[in-house]
Amino acid sequence: MNFNIFGHLHQPSYVHLDQFNADVLLHIFSLTDVYTIGSLSQVNKHFHAVASTKQLWISVIRDLSHRRLIDAPPDPILETLSTEALKDEIRRVVNGPNTWSAQSMSLPTISRQITIALPETHRYSAAELLPGGTHIVLFFMSSQTRGLECREVHTGRKVWSREAPNSHVRSAAFDLHGESKMVACLVNDEAGEYGIVVLEVNLRTGESRDHLDLPLHAEVPSEMQISGDFICFRVAQTHGNPKSCVCVINWRADHFIVLELMSEKPPFAIFADHIMVSCPAPDSAPGSQHQLQVFPLSTFDSTPLSELNSRPLILFRVVPSTVLAASEQHNHNSPPIYFSISVASGPLREGRFEVTTVVIAPRPETPKGTSLIARLARRYNSIPTPYGSALLKTTFRYNLLLAPPHHLFFDLKSVSHDTTLALVETSRAGYSLWFVDGRVFVSRMEGGVRRGLEFSITPSEELDADFVNLARSGAVLAVFRSPPRAVVLYYR
């Protein structure tokens, strides 16, 4: 690795990167990502020593926390951790807690617990830990009003609330910009009249400002998503029309586009000024093959929101012939009955995203005959499962690298098959959380087998199971009735 320093126009001189002192290298390494640091640490002993510096990993974790890719502990705790413990903070997000894995010899062990006291005047119906783990949003009801509020996790301080006595928030999506800005997209229901509100909240001062208030009358938007300056939702289908429409709104610029998808309710996801959709593969039987397709939103001409109701809509048809990048096809013998896509920024490498697709379809027909494969297939299909053996859930995991200007690279990471249809993998490491008779379980697929693990949060008689969920970071969030409190748990 050389740097070309032009001391003289015709006599360039070169300085090897490993000739810089440790302080300069530490600064250079801190400007890269986890993947690059890991690669540089293998160059030589000098680089390995710099890559093992505690201050470097504190800087890396602070950067990931600022970009909301990791739930970092507060600085006073961060400063006390060893280099290896700092790396474990990243490993926990990517791979899941060590004490949850099949190789662990220990029971699930809590490494960090945060308790937030809540007022007794409110009853909380739902809660969400926001990316980065610094704030929590709670939906509440009281004798006089209902609404939602945002609190700091580490102090419990209420930084913002919005009350709506005559309506309720039907659904909501949140996005965080840096350390101090939250954008909330709310779908309000007021006596059957629906509307979308987009507002920006200063998480330091609690001040908020409405950017968009869009009445939808009797139309109910579904599958609301928000990313950056864009919100995205599915538009109700016209009776008898097998196609589906998705509306994308730039809430900051007050422009919109409508995409007509060429199949019934295909899944979609919005991320980094792009939209990913699943479309039928060309020349395939209906529902038998699907392709993931990614489109930059800048390729569509948008329309001012003020013209939404004043002129006919311009529909952009999303068809396979316009694909920019496609993943491996999802092959099924029968049309899937459920299909979902989720996209999240990866914490290890700049510009890399983690894509997860879940397909639920009828299990393939059991082969007839006496061959070994046929006999094994009959035995496999005869094994009873808790959710029925007629359906099979297939989960595909991809790495997606987004390189400017519009270059996309898909890499199939893993494929797993499962019959526990009720479980949704909500954590980045592929874990699911569920409840049976007040008991809490966590599970994921390991080596082709779903491994379930029971663990305790607190005495079950105090636990309202509807108020427990698993964040993408792997944190467990629980809300209790008596005394009212929210608890955030991180496992070792």
Q: Which residues of the chain have pLDDT under 70?
A: 1-15, 217-219, 236-243, 262-264, 280-290, 308-336, 363-390, 405-406, 420-425, 435-438, 447-448, 456-466
* Distance from C-alpha of 459 to C-alpha of 464, rounded to nearest angstrom: 11
**38: number of Cβ within 10 Å:** 14
Q: What is the pLDDT of residue 322?
A: 36
Q: What is the pLDDT of residue 189?
A: 78
Q: What is the pLDDT of residue 300?
A: 83
Q: What is the pLDDT of residue 157?
A: 94
In CATH terms, the fold of domain 120-422 is Methylamine Dehydrogenase; Chain H (2.130.10)
Q: Which CATH class is domain 2-94?
A: mainly alpha
| Bond from prior residue into 405 cis (ω within 30 degrees of 0) | yes
Q: Using one digit for the tens of pLDDT, what is the confidence trace for 114-154?
A: 999 999 888 888 899 999 999 999 988 877 778 889 999 99
Q: Using one digit for the tens of pLDDT, what is the confidence trace for 43-98?
A: 888 889 989 999 999 999 999 998 899 998 888 888 999 999 999 989 888 888 88
Torsion sign (Cα): 353, 452, 480, 96: negative
Q: What is the pLDDT of residue 396?
A: 83
Q: What is the pLDDT of residue 54?
A: 93
Q: What is the pLDDT of residue 182?
A: 92
Which two three-digit tokens encode residue 90? 């990243």
Decide: 353 and 402 in contact? Cβ < 8 Å.
yes
- Give start-end residues of each CATH 2.130.10 domain in the chain: 120-422
- Give start-end residues of each CATH 1.20.1280 domain in the chain: 2-94
**Among the listed residues 308, 313, 266, 310, the one whose alpha carbon sits nearest the alpha carbon of residue 286:** 266
Decide: 312 and 341 in contact? Cβ < 8 Å.
no
Q: Using one digit for the tens of pLDDT, what is the confidence trace for 209-251?
A: 999 888 876 567 788 899 999 999 887 655 555 567 888 999 9
Give the position of tokens 């970092």. Answer: 72
Cα 223 versus chain centre, distance: 14
